[in-house]
Amino acid sequence: MEEQNKHHAALLFNLVMMFHSAAMQQMGKLKNPMTNAIERDMEQARLSIDMLDMLQAKTAGNLSEDESKFIGHVISELKLNFVDEVNKDKQKAAESATAGETPAEGGTGESAPENRTAE
């Protein structure tokens, strides 16, 4: 049973890291390894973060303390990066408006993904 728990912990770690990497790529923080280009899709980044929020909510009470801390840390890091990117978009839009230009596409005007757990 102990071996199975270790295996499940490793699988959980890998799953969380897959969503972390995807979200970082979607926010334009990492290059897409397939295209070797920076690509940005804030809606997809939001979805990746929301998937981790859901995973955290659905596994609540079933994770070890270390697993719970790990997933919480990853979600916090991603949300901070998401807010940073949204703020950059707002700043670029404000600078464009000040310069008399139309705002560049890609600005989302979105807020950070929320923790949507049912209570």
Distance between CA 51 and CA 35 in Å, rounded? 24
Distance between CA 116 and CA 55 in Å, rounded? 11
pLDDT in tens, 3-58: 999 999 999 999 999 999 999 999 999 999 999 999 999 999 999 999 999 999 99
Distance between CA 27 and CA 40 in Å, rounded? 5
| Residue 90 clears pLDDT 70, i.e. is over it | yes
